[in-house]
Amino acid sequence: MDYPELSEEILPLVGGSQNIASYTNCMTRLRLNLHDPSKADVAALRRLTGVMGVVDGPQLQVVVGPGHAQRLRDAFAEVVDAPAEAPVDDPDDEVADIAAAAAGSRATGARASGGGEPVDAVTDLRTLQQENTQKVKSRHTSRVHGLFRHIANIFVPIIPGFIACGLVVAIGNIWKLIDPGVAANPWFLVFAALGTIVVASLNLIVGLNTAKEFGGTPVLGLIAGAISYLPALAGIAATTAADGTVTPAQPLVLPLFGELKPALGGIIGVMVTAWLFTVIEKWIRKRVPAWADLFVVPVVTLLVGAVICIFVIMPISGLLMQGINWLLIDFALERGGVIGGYLLSSLFLPLVMLGIHQGLTPIHAQLITDHGFTELLPVLAMAGAGEVGMAIAIFLKTKSTRLKNIIRAALPIGVLGVGEPLIYGVSLPLFYPLITACLGGGFGGAFVAFGIQASGGFGAGALGLSGVLMTAVITNGAWLWYVGGLVISYIMGFVLTWFFGFKEHMVERLG
């Protein structure tokens, strides 16, 4: 793609620099905030080489796909006379664009060899996915859904770091299996340390992103993320002098709660504290004269916020984290075993459609921070594998060329762990296949839960990967358990859909 040329072509079609209030990008789109959206020639923009699609509106979005958006933004900056904004993240849009890009690359090959049908399938898939996604999202209007959207906006920018560091850890583990002696090499230790960067600094990153999300000063959010992790919260340890005199430990003790310790409350506490900092900062700024802003607002925000964090947020969020861990790990997986694993996996897709699955992200992040992996993620990933089995069954059973082409476009990226195209483009419109996919994925979840018990514990060492790609970050050498779960989910999703989930007349539901 010729980014400078494409930038030159886009500019006049959106009304020139004078019509652009500002511009930014996400992972897959160049986003232009226009003074007058009516001046944009959307039809002409869609015909430009390299443009996958255009979303019209006050913020006009030019879809170019992953790997291209940032490069196009950099080239666009050279030709436009308008202010740039920080990149943004929209997880739902980005998933749709990645799916379409993957399918589109295959369609391009088919068209070059003389077939044009897959290109129509990509458009069809994208239309179905967007229509059904919007229908589902239109119901996500409660404050709870708003909270989960904030959580997603906080964690989505961290996912590339999780993936990078997780893969470094995976490479290091494989390296040690091949050459155990390398663990004594100091340069290898430097390499291995690269894989710990995100986990070691997660509280600071989350605090920073939370402040950005809620309109606070980023550095104050970073400070908020550090408060509950201060080593001084451990108090003073017991010491023994040279003459044998013992000075007893002096822990920090809160009334009703008990002893404080660093990291109490975890990532949830960090998010609440950073949010509180933004509330305090805005409240004080309204009441302080401008000349005193720089000296008064930050220090009062820090002192007041730190007191509330230590005496209120840390104890309460600590109890909350203990309760969540007990419910999902101790009760559902350790005590529930295969039954708990089945229920967690089979119910996960409904959680995705309800928009509340994003609330699990801080839990995954905290589990990785605490002991290096999250047991939940491999179990929940089986839900997507059930979708893959469902799709294969429908592909082989249906006589509809249109449905076959839609599945052909969505299936490969579903195997890689991006399940939304299959959910919103296939199973949700047909409905009953969604049920059989959920039930089929539950069997894989049960198998993985059994493997966690039988092997002594394993999980995913990083966020952001699913499907077959998660195999690379499965910890403790237990990847065969995970692969076994994928295969079982594929098979059971296939079998249940073939016999119970799909009838040919359901194709009419696609519209």
Catalytic residue annotation: 26
- Tell me how far apart the alpha carbons of residues 485 and 436 are, in angstroms, rounded to a whole number: 16
CB of 52 within 8 A of CB of 97? Answer: yes
- Tell me how far apart the alpha carbons of residues 290 and 109 are, in angstroms, rounded to a whole number: 61
As beta bridge partners, residue 236 has 250
CB of 489 within 8 A of CB of 444? Answer: yes
- Tell me how far apart the alpha carbons of residues 421 and 406 are, in angstroms, rounded to a whole number: 9
CB of 390 within 8 A of CB of 493? Answer: yes
- Tell me how far apart the alpha carbons of residues 508 and 511 are, in angstroms, rounded to a whole number: 6
Nearest to 72 by CA among 33, 11, 25: 25
- Tell me how far apart the alpha carbons of residues 107 and 425 are, in angstroms, rounded to a whole number: 17
Instruction: Determine how many CB atoms are found less than 10 A away from the CB of residue 344.
Output: 24
- Phi, psi for residue 243 in degrees, rounded to 5: -85, 10
Element (H, E) at 53: strand 53-55
- Tell me how far apart the alpha carbons of residues 421 and 459 are, in angstroms, rounded to a whole number: 26
- Tell me how far apart the alpha carbons of residues 309 and 122 are, in angstroms, rounded to a whole number: 50
As beta bridge partners, residue 25 has 30
CB of 341 within 8 A of CB of 333? Answer: yes
